[in-house]
Structure 1
Amino acid sequence: MRYHEPHIGIAAVKVLEALGFEVVLVRNRRCCGRPAFSQGNLDAAAKVGKHNADLVNASTSHVSPLGSHLSTPPILFLEPSCWSMFVEDYCELKIEGADNVAKRCFLFENFVDDLLAKEPTVLRFNERPTTVAIHPHCHAKSIMNPAFMGKLAERLPGRKATVLDTACCGMAGAFGALAEKYDLSVQVAQRLLDNIDDQPAGTEIIASGTSCRHQITDLTNTRPKHMAELLADAIV
């Protein structure tokens, strides 16, 4: 996201700063290790995981949300597969300090929704009657109930949101990028594509995963957004 979709990170920062947070990017961080982990290269995944866990555990307090002080700054993720790596797979790899790291890690959408549930008037959003269809990421669905994503979208006045009953988008990380897996990838995506086709004209499609967004873009005439973009665009 730092290099391919920086606009999503910029949108997330806009939302978080509007909520009163100081946003800091962890320096010297490395890939979460998901690509290596998904290919069975556990040693490589554990190596970068240890590096990242050590960085996080060494971080100090400097975040002030809504005028309060946090002794352990939360760590937010825009990509669900990276988030699940930190909260589940680092522990499975038995990385030292992984349990403490996991407690501080939050999916962006869930973190923002929890805050707005406690402080519903802290942000002002524009009113725009439109439908929003949300494709939840497989890694998010494996850990939490994605129903809250629809409620989050409907915090924006005039929006009517649906969390689509979809399965995997077919990309599964690098799987769908392989030439020999393309046909199978498209077959797996068909349920998602049918759901998108059934949406009213003008529906905004939301997908948290970068692979999901690329698959939807490639196989439809739709340019899906991340939830951070939907929220940032609506702030007044």
Structure 2
Amino acid sequence: MIHRQYPAAPAQVYLFATCLVDLFVPQAGLDAVRLLEREGLTVHYPRQQSCCGQPAYSSGNPEEARAVARAQLDLFAEPWPIVVPSGSCAGMMRHHWPRLFEDDPALGPKARALAERVFELTEFLLHVLKLDLAARAPAGQPHERVVLHTSCGARREMGTREHGVAMVDALPGVTRVEHARESECCGFGGTFSLKHPDISGAMVQDKIASACATGCERLVSADCGCLLNIGHAAVHQGAPLPVEHLASFLWRRTGGEGQA
């Protein structure tokens, strides 16, 4: 696990929802807000936020990534934590935004200060809010067997696999099962899936087959890119593998389903 110093639980936070949540899985963003608000936090959502810049950055276009990041450096002006329901986007903001501006005497310090306030959602729930999921979960829920998928960026840059594991394992009535290809990439990789569709397709096929072999009832992940890739491929293959964002899974399993 990647160690860092965690602040005391704040009264207010920012949400950086990510473009995939905004456009394709808005329910995950709403459920992330509900999880935070239920703990008494006020959640602020700067409407001018956009992409974290990762597609451009990982495609070898740092200038385009720098322009995307520059447009957002002033959106999070208050010294509140920035909570991100995506390990890969959080990794981009925390580790790569400072590198994009490391030679800029004005924007460099601003990017580094912002990066220190970036937390992936489960990391924030576990280490900052110290959320007791077992105390939140109502009795009598049906048992579920799930596999947890952690994106490559979340696993290797943010070290948040351990946070997701801790959150899922704390839920009564939930059994997390591991599979042989859990640590492998799902094949999405942002623009990788567009540039190398045959390789990407083979990778996600292996991932789905390995997950289904466990007899799990669903796959949960904190990264929407992976969820969209795995979920759509499973439907295309006719595989019995429904997917759910971890924020929605945690909200549902702690009695939040149907709440406003």
1:140-177: CA deviation from partner (whole Å, max 9, x where unpaired)? 11121512312211221111113553311111112213
Tell whether 2:139 aligns with 1:132.
Answer: no
Q: Which residue of 1 aligns with 2:14?
A: none
1:8 correspondence with 2:28: yes
Matches of 1:21 and 1:138 in 2, distance apart? 30
CA distance in 1, matches of 2:231, 2:56: 26
Hey, what does 1:68 align to over in structure 2? none
1:169-184 matched pairs, under 5 angstroms = 169-178=186-195, 181-184=196-199
Q: Residues 134 and 170 of structure 2 are in contact (CA less than 8 Å); yes or no, is this contact kept in structure 1?
A: no
- Other-structure match for 1:50: 70
Q: Does the 8 Å CA contact 1:146/1:163 hold for their aligned counterparts?
A: no
Corresponding residue SS for 2:67:
helix
What SS does the corresponding residue of 1:230 show, helix, strand or coil? helix
Deviations 1:60-92 (A, max 9, x none): 3xxxxxxxxxxx211011122221111011111
**Partners of 1:192 and 1:155 in 2: CA distance:** 25
Matched-pair contact (CA < 8 Å) for 1:150–1:162 = no
* Shift in CA distance, 122/115, structure 1 to aligned 2, threshold 3 Å: farther
Whole-Å separation in 2 of the counterparts to 1:214 and 1:27:
24
TM-score (norm 1): 0.84
Deviations 1:87-130 (A, max 9, x none): 011111125212111111000011112246x3527951134322
- Structure 2 spans left out of the alignment, 5+ residues: 1-20, 256-260
| Corresponding residue number in structure 2 for 1:88 | 95
Equivalent residue letter for 2:169: E
Aligned position for 2:254:
235
Distance 1:119 1:82 in 2: 23
Partner Cα distance (1:120, 1:214) in 2: 29
Aligned counterparts of 2:59 and 2:133: Cα–Cα separation in 1: 45
Q: Which residue of 2 aligns with 1:108?
A: 121
Instruction: Work out the CA distance in 2 between the residues paired with 1:145 and 1:2.
Output: 22
Contact 1:8 1:228 in 2 (8 A): yes
SS of the equivalent of 1:2 reads helix
Partner of 1:24: 44
One-letter code aligned to 1:184: I
2:18 corresponds in structure 1 to none
The aligned residue for residue 141 of structure 1 is: 155
In the alignment, structure 1 residue 192 sits paired with structure 2 residue 207? yes
Cα RMSD, aligned residues only? 2.1
Match of 1:63 in 2: none
Q: 1:162 to 1:206 in 2, by over 3 A?
A: same
How many residue pairs match? The answer is 219
